[in-house]
Amino acid sequence: MKQPTFAIYTLGCKLNYSESSDLSRQLVNAGFSYAEHPDYIILNSCAVTAVAEKKARNLVAHLHREYPDSQIVVTGCYAALRPKEIQQWPGVVATFGNEDKMNVLPFLRGESLPTNPPFFPAFSSSDRTRSFLKIQDGCDYHCTYCTVWRARGESRSDNIEHVLHEIEQIHSMGIKEINLTGVNLGDFGRKNGTNFYELLQAIEKQDSGIRIRISSIEPNLLTDEIIALAAESRMIMPHFHIPLQSASDRVLGLMRRRYQRDLYAHKVAKIKELMPHACIAMDIIAGFPTETEEEFADGLEWLEALPISYLHVFTYSRRPNTIAAEMVGQIPSPVKKDRTNRLLALSEAKKHIFYNSHIGETRPVLLESESKNNWMFGFTDNYIKVRIPFDEGKINAIENIVLTEENLELS
Ligand code: SF4
């Protein structure tokens, strides 16, 4: 009998990548094989912005044109939010939201669909050097611009024992770095009577030697004890990704964020006091409804003085069924674009300063398989991208490299 074939496409966040990777392993273990022109195409979609949704629509249309006899299954946030719309698209045979994603395999086998536990773990393994390990899902914060909490459901987590088991498993595959991932990572364990700090302590005690990165963590959940633990740790990398979203306290209030900018500045100061070399990345939204030019300019000045390493800048995008989308005082597109560009310019400048301040230091670099024009690339412990001449034998090696003007990869 012919083996069924599949292909899987992923859009969006690291959580989606970890879940797609897990689903691929499940399908391969169940006897499916990968093919470019497959029987089944799975698209793990994203709905965080209007652009992400457009990408999903275009991709499905393109795949259906290229492979008209393939059956398409759409999963992920877009499928969770608007399944009926997607079910009308030519070629689509089924949709599964985030909580039912793991029903794709029984569906493809024509089996009855089980009821799933609220949390299912996942990790990515397509990359030889690093893995995204999902330890938490969902969010109870309900920020006024966000659709993710609707699409991903209530906050829930894995348990500490199982996370340690997954770390062992990833380590035994020869992968050198794990990125702990969740929708609201810092909320890990709250409903199981534990917390993120206790998880990190347990990981430290396990002492597997694998490099650990903490993906995005809300500033109010990044406690001083977590920062102190990271500073002492051999495994937790000096690298933080902390969303701010707005540098105006009034706008933060409208967004229903759970902190003001002083708290953010305190966290940055604490990190820099204990780990002056740490990389700190920030998420920020340009052009949230009612944001005035004065507020924006004041925020920009405040950001200039903050010792962060770079910014992920998002232009505010009006998402259906959110409070912010209905607010009076939407910002015109050209203004949003202008503010986005000013923040991007600031990010560029900060990244240069951060990179250049480490020239002359020797730092451990995990070398990856990506190669371009006979160069290979890797990241230092503090997330500086470095290039060296390509050497296949060095893929997945951690090398101590002296940072120079020539080997820093700023692009
Ligand atoms: S913290 Fe806010 S922005 Fe982040 S997922 Fe939760 S609701 Fe969305």
Structural domain span for residue 389: 362-402
Please report which helix (H) or strand (E) contains residue 197, including its range: helix 196-206
Final residue of a domain: which of 108, 137, 165? 108
Evaluate whether residue 41 is within a structural domain: yes
Q: Which residue has the tokens 């985030």?
A: 98
Q: In 51-146, at which residue ranges do the beta strands (DSSP E only) sit?
A: 71-76, 92-96, 122-123, 130-134, 136-137
| Predicted confidence (pLDDT) per residue in 19-28, tens digit | 999 999 999 9
- In this structure, the answer to whether residues 225 and 133 fall within a common structural domain is yes
148 CA from centroid of ligand 1 (Å):
7
- In this structure, the answer to whether residues 44 and 81 fall within a common structural domain is yes
Domain of residue 233, CATH code: 3.30.750.210
Evaluate whether residue 390 is within a structural domain: yes
| Predicted confidence (pLDDT) per residue in 290-312, tens digit | 999 999 999 999 999 999 999 99
pLDDT beneath 70: ranges in the chain: 1
Give the other-Cβ count within 10 Å of 402's Cβ.
11
CA 365 centroid distance within chain: 21
192 CA from centroid of ligand 1 (Å):
20
- In this structure, the answer to whether residues 30 and 99 fall within a common structural domain is yes
- The predicted model scores a pTM of 0.94
Give the pairing of strands 375-380 and 385-389. antiparallel
* Binding site membership of 180 for ligand 1 (Cβ less than 6 Å): no
Final residue of a domain: which of 78, 108, 138? 108
Q: Whose CA is nearest to atom 1 of ligand 1?
A: 141
Q: Whose CA is nearest to atom 2 of ligand 1?
A: 143
- In this structure, the answer to whether residues 145 and 203 fall within a common structural domain is yes
Tell me if residue 173 falls in helix, strand or coil: coil
- In this structure, the answer to whether residues 209 and 128 fall within a common structural domain is yes
Cβ atoms 37, 57 nearer than 8 A: no
Evaluate whether residue 136 is within a structural domain: yes
- In this structure, the answer to whether residues 96 and 123 fall within a common structural domain is no
Evaluate whether residue 70 is within a structural domain: yes
Q: How many folded domains does the chain comprise?
A: 3
Final residue of a domain: which of 54, 81, 108? 108
- In this structure, the answer to whether residues 30 and 126 fall within a common structural domain is no
| Predicted confidence (pLDDT) per residue in 191-231, tens digit | 999 999 999 999 999 999 999 999 999 999 999 999 999 99
- In this structure, the answer to whether residues 132 and 183 fall within a common structural domain is yes
Domain of residue 66, CATH code: 3.40.50.12160
Evaluate whether residue 298 is within a structural domain: no
Evaluate whether residue 339 is within a structural domain: no
pLDDT of residue 85: 97
pLDDT of residue 126: 78
pLDDT of residue 114: 84
| CA neighbor of 238 nearest in space, from 271, 263, 261 | 271
- In this structure, the answer to whether residues 103 and 144 fall within a common structural domain is no
Evaluate whether residue 52 is within a structural domain: yes
Evaluate whether residue 351 is within a structural domain: no
- In this structure, the answer to whether residues 122 and 233 fall within a common structural domain is yes
140 CA from centroid of ligand 1 (Å):
8
Tell me if residue 208 falls in helix, strand or coil: coil
User: What mean pLDDT, rounded, does the chain reach?
Assistant: 96
